[in-house]
Amino acid sequence: MQNPGNKESLIRFIEQKAREIRIDIVKMTAKAGSGHPGGSLSAADIVATLYFGEVLRVKPDEPDWPDRDRFVLSKGHAAPVLYSALAGRGFFPADWLDTLRQLGSPLQGHPDCKKVPGVEVSTGSLGQGLSMAVGMALAGRLDQKDYNVWVLLGDGECQEGQIWEAAMAASHYKLDNLIAIVDHNGLQIDGRVRDVMSIDPIDDKFRAFGWHVFRVDGHRVDILLDVFQQALDIKGKPAVVVADTVKGKGVSFMEGEKDWHGKAPNPGQLEEALKQLQAV
């Protein structure tokens, strides 16, 4: 990975990587003919900041490095955003991306940790990632390691009871090596989260569960870089970054549209999407 000198150029670098990730997302899902572009695009800036902003300490040539930071994609349907970042960091060859969802491909609709280097745990059934992240954080403390555990949740996913069981455990155990990020894009499959089953006020809920809460614009890479550092500095309790995002971000006709949750662009839509993403 190239090492940009100052913060300004780091930010430009991450933004460029986020653009490349978005391009991969629309290309991959278009080629596959199915997949989840909306929730992948909303998370692109978050994932780019983690993987290309020197936030996650990982070694692509040694994916099982015991001291690595862990990243759990609890909202596993956003697999394309993770696959693109992992390929971009060299965990596996970029041409794997062309095989998304094909017979026998390691790149499944939902990520499989036994098949893809860099994927920590297999996810896809929502609501389960935070618990596994709690386990990793507890083990890190037990082993006196200084790694951190990051977990990305969907806002609809926060309707799962298990999220709150895990949230309770994380603060009970004072897991300051655990940072959750909520991709707060306001949409789930059946409509707006607030109409289907409101999770509001999400900040207060996490606060009541003993977490330190940050609320930020999830598409501002400069802000994400800062807030991730601040989250790492919180001691004695877990931190959550509620990141306000737009589902489908970067492709005008996908932005804020629930119908782009789980649908691939057709060739014409792909062309239009690429035109928009490449113009930025």
Partner 1 sequence: MRTESIRERFGLAMLELGRRYPRVVVVTGDLMYPTQVHHFAQAYPDRFYDVGIAEQNMIGVAAGMATCGKIPFVCSYANFTALRACEQIRNDICYTNLNVKIAGLSSGLTYGVGGPTHQSYEDLATMRSMANMTVVVPADANAAEAAVFAAYEHDGPVFLRLGRGPEPVVYDRDASFTIGRACQLREGQDVSIIANGPMVYEALSAAEHLEKAGIDCRVYDMHTLKPLDLDSLRSAGLETNLIVTVEEHYIIGGLGSAVLEGLNELGVSTPVMRIGIPDLFPIIGPTNELRAHYGLCADNIVRNVKAALSSI
Ligand X SMILES: Cc1ncc(C[n+]2csc(CCOP(=O)(O)OP(=O)(O)O)c2C)c(N)n1
Shortest Å, Cβ 20 to ligand X = 20
Residue 98 binding partner 1, by CB under 8 A: no
Nearer to partner 1, 69 or 160 (CB): 160
User: Which residue number is nearest to ligand X in terms of Cβ?
Assistant: 154
Least Cα distance to 97 among 1, 29, 149, 158 occurs for 29
Alpha helices in the chain (DSSP H): 7-32, 37-41, 44-52, 79-88, 129-142, 161-172, 193-196, 202-208, 221-233, 267-279
What mask, x for binding partner 1 by CB under 8 A, covers residues 112 to 151? Answer: x---------xxxxxx------------------------
Site string for partner 1, 160-179 (x = CB under 8 A): xx------------------
From the list 144-152, 181-189, 207-215, 266-274, the region that binds Mg ion by CB under 5 A is 181-189
Secondary structure (DSSP) of 224-240: HHHHHHHHHH--SS-EE
**Which option in ligand X, partner 1, Mg ion, none does residue 161 bind, with CB closer than 5 to 8 A by kind?**
partner 1
Q: How many CA atoms lie within 13 A of 280 on its CB side?
A: 17
Q: What angle do CA 7, 276, 108 make, to 5 degrees?
A: 85
* Nearer to ligand X among residue 77 and residue 101 (C-beta): 77
**In the complex, minimum distance from the CB of residue 38 to ligand X, in angstroms, rounded to a whole number:** 6
Q: Which is nearer to ligand X, 36 or 70 (CB)?
A: 36
Residue 230, interface with partner 1 (CB under 8 A)? no
Site for ligand X in 256-275 (CB under 6 A): 261
- Check: CB of residue 118 under 8 Å from CB of residue 61: no
- Quickly count helices (H) and strands (E) in the chain: 10, 5
Angle between helix axes 221-233 and 44-52 (nearest 10 degrees) is: 60
Q: Which one among 15, 20, 120, 155 touches Mg ion, defined by CB under 5 A?
A: 155
| CA distance linking residue 123 with residue 245, whole number of Å | 22
Is residue 123 a contact point for ligand X (CB under 6 A)? no
Q: How many CB atoms lie within 10 A of CB 22?
A: 29
- Between residues 126 and 137, which has the closer beta carbon with respect to ligand X? 126
Q: How far apart, in whole angstroms, are the C-alpha atoms of residue 185 and residue 269?
A: 22
Question: Quick one: what does residue 75 bind among Mg ion, partner 1, ligand X, none, with the CB cut-off 5 to 8 Å set by partner type?
Answer: ligand X
Among 16, 34, 229, 230, binds partner 1 (CB under 8 A): 34
Contact call for residue 155 and ligand X (CB under 6 A): yes
By the rule CB under 6 A, 156 interacts with ligand X: yes
Residue located via tokens 């990243």: 71
Q: Which residues lie near Mg ion (CB under 5 A)?
A: 154-156, 185, 187
